[in-house]
Amino acid sequence: MTAGVAKLILDKRQEIERIFAEHDELVGAAQDGDNVERLHVA
């Protein structure tokens, strides 16, 4: 990983974590038959 990519990830960390948290809320609220895939394993 280049230093530029690492810096970009660190700079965007809060936004990335917010997006994952929103996705986890969608997964938790999904009803049977809904199609929301997990992005990561907690």
Q: Coil, strand or helix: which one is 21?
A: helix
10 alpha carbon, distance to own chain's centre? 14
Q: Which pLDDT score, from 0 to 100, does residue 41 have?
A: 57
Q: Which residues constitute the domain of residue 19?
A: 1-42
Residue ranges for the chain with pLDDT beneath 50: none
Residue with tokens 């990519």: 5
For the chain, the distance separating the N- and C-terminal CA atoms, rounded to the nearest angstrom, is 24
Would you state the torsion angle of the CA atoms of residues 29, 34, 12, 17, taken in this order, to the nearest 10 degrees? 30
Q: What local confidence, expressed as pLDDT, does residue 21 receive?
A: 87
Please name which of 14, 6, 17, 8 lies closest in space to residue 25, comparing C-alpha atoms: 17
